[in-house]
Structures are given as structure tokens and as C-alpha cells.
Structure 1
Amino acid sequence: MISKKIVDALNEQINWEFWSGYLYLSMANYFEEEGRKGMANWFRVQFKEEFDHAQIFINYLNARGGKVVLSPINAVPQGWESPLAAFAATLAHEQEVTRRIHDLYALAEEERDFATRQKLNWFVAEQVEEEETVKDIIDNLTLVGTDGTGIYQIDSKLGARTYVPAAPLAEK
């Protein structure tokens, strides 16, 4: 049986994942308006991934008999000073997601909910990958500065990213 504390915490995380998706969709739109189609693509893929993450939690709650409660999504920022500023905000956001996942993991241990802890293992590994990817982009943006050619090359590389459904969704 899944505890009310776990159900409430997972519902909060579902809302956070949807908010994250909205944030990344906002960033995609920002970059589209700025003519950075590759960066817009990268953030559109992030948007889809965040909605996948919410769906994984929804599926999990449904499988465990927990009630899914969808809450309103708060407003998200609409603009950034530069590509570097947007990706710095992305890293800070992903670090907050990591903190939240770790808090959920700690709660699952406290509640002796080993099934939830096991489900969260995938998210722990996913967050390591998310932070590393964004740090690499920030390193590249820092390296090229405002050089038009460098920004163009990074934009082109990010445009090649494709969406792949999250592994836990492919298992269903």
C-alpha cells in the first residue's frame, strides 16, 4: 500500500514535471523568435521529456492505487538575455529537479516504500545525465562567447537532437 505522504509528494512532482515542460516550451518559443532553430529544437525535446516524466509518475501512481491530482501550472519565464543565460537557468532548474528527486527518494526510504524507491532509481540516473548535458552546452557556449560562427555551430548541433520516449514508457 502506498502512503498518503508518498501520493502527495508524487502528485507535487507531477505538477513540477509539467511546469518544467512549460518552462522548456517557453524557452523553445524564445529561441524560435530569436532565430535559433537548433536551440528551439533542443528545448522542444526537453519539453516532451518532461511530459514523459510526469506520465511515468502518473502511471506509477495509477499502478499503486494512488489518486492522481492534477494542479494548476504556475506561469513560467518568457525571455532570457542570451543563450548562455537560458542554459544557465536550465542548469539551475535541473539542479532543483535533482534536489526534489533526492527528497522523494529520502521520503520513500523513510516510509519504507521500496517500490517507490526503486521507481525513483531511474530518475536519479536521469538527473545525472540531464545536468551533465546542460553543463556541456554551457561549457561550449562559454568557450565561443558571442562569436557568431561558434553560436551557429552550437545551434546546428542542438538542432540534430531527436526525441526518444523515456525508457520506462517504452516498457509499458
Structure 2
Amino acid sequence: MNTNRLSKTIAAALNAQMTKEAHASQIYLSYAAWADKRGFSGIANFLFRHAQEERNHMMKILEYILKRGAEVEVSAIPAPPKNPVSINNCFEKVFEHEVDNTNAVYKLVKMSHDQEDWATWNFMQWFVKEQVEEETLAMNLLDKMKIAGGENMNSNALYLFDKEMEETPDEVILAQEVTAENP
């Protein structure tokens, strides 16, 4: 008896997104090692945590595919892009990668909507919210660096930014959670 509840196109797209999340983990891992090698342990800590978070996203998709009765296809993960040339460039690359991932999530949401696969559409809403959070976090960090001088941040600003990154939470308050009492 066939218990698969995913179309071939949805299953293929979910498997591709699973690989994309694994690739994201590798990117964060690579950038974390790069930052740590340069003495930025706070930034490295932040990036290592995000590498694990991306791997968790991969596992969510893997489990969903299995629970819907489809076949998981583990594919090769592309190598991470070249290392950043600066801390500012590192977070520019992080932001660009998150935007790319958001676009992939949106395509999967649209595909599930078009195919009236409401279970997958509902499952993907968690990723939509997560991507808003990831993009907002990256934008906030880029804003802080811009205020501190961007590419021209001096060593004091870099030191303080590195120390702050060690304690920076992995989540941000999203617009839908804001109230007049809690802006």
C-alpha cells in the first residue's frame, strides 16, 4: 500500500530545500571558523550557533518528508562560498544568503498552495516566519556595523561588536509580536 502523501514535485522541492538548509549550515560553519581564526570568538560563537540552527531546519524538513510517507533523498552539499574579506562582508554575505533561502521557501509555499497541499503549506509557514526572523536579525547586525563605521570600523568598534555578538540572542522580536505597550 502506498502511504506517500506528497506529490513528486513537492517531495523533490522539499528534498532540495533540505539540502539548501544543510548548505546554509555549512556556510555558517565555514564563516564561524573563519571568524574564530581571526580572533573574533564572539562572532564565531554566534555563527556556530546559527550553523546548528540551520542543521535543525534541515532535520525538520527531513522528518516532515518521512512523516508524509515520501522518500528522503540525501544529496551532496555544495561547498560554501569563498570566505569573507571582512566582518562587515561576512554579515553582508549572511544577509544575501538568507534572502536567497527566503526566496526558495516562498517558492515551496507557492507550489504547495498551487497543488492544494495544505499540510505542506501549513508546515512551510513556520519557515516563512523563521526567514523573516533571520533576515531581520541580519539587517539589525548590518545596521549596527554601519553605525560603527561599516567596512571602516576601527579596532575598538570591532572589539565591542565581537563581545556583543557572543551575547546576541538568536531570535528577534517580529512585527506581528509588537504592541503599543511592548514596541
**TM-score normalised over the length of structure 1:** 0.92
Letter in 2 for 1:132: T
Find the counterpart in structure 2 of residue 170 from structure 1.
none
In the alignment, structure 1 residue 65 sits paired with structure 2 residue 65: no
Q: How does 1:60-139 map to 2 (within 5 A)?
A: 60-139=64-143
Consecutive unaligned residues of structure 1, counting only runs of 5 or more, are 165-172
Bigger mean CA offset, 131-140 vs 155-164? 155-164
Find the counterpart in structure 2 of residue 147 from structure 1.
154
Aligned length: 164
Higher relative contact order (CA 8 A, sep 6+): 1
Identify which of 139, 150, 159 aligns with 2:166.
159
Q: Are the counterparts in 2 of residues 41 and 161 from structure 1 also a CA contact under 8 Å? A: no
List per-residue Cα deviations over 1:50-108 (Å, max 9, x = no partner).
Answer: 00000000110110001100001111124211111010011000000000000000000
Find the counterpart in structure 2 of residue 46 from structure 1.
50
SS state at 2:140 partner: helix
Q: Are the counterparts in 2 of residues 21 and 50 from structure 1 also a CA contact under 8 Å? A: yes
CA distance in 2, matches of 1:95, 1:153: 27
**TM-score normalised over the length of structure 2:** 0.86
SS state at 2:77 partner: coil
Consecutive unaligned residues of structure 2, counting only runs of 5 or more, are 172-183
In the alignment, structure 1 residue 13 sits paired with structure 2 residue 17: yes
Q: How does 1:24-39 map to 2 (within 5 A)?
A: 24-39=28-43
Deviation at 1:152, TM superposition (A): 1.3
Find the counterpart in structure 2 of residue 23 from structure 1.
27
List per-residue Cα deviations over 1:107-162 (Å, max 9, x = no partner).
Answer: 00111100000001110011011001001111111111212222111111111246
Identity %: 30
Deviation at 1:9, TM superposition (A): 0.2
**Which stretches of structure 1, 4 residues or longer, exceed 6 Å deviation after superposition?**
none
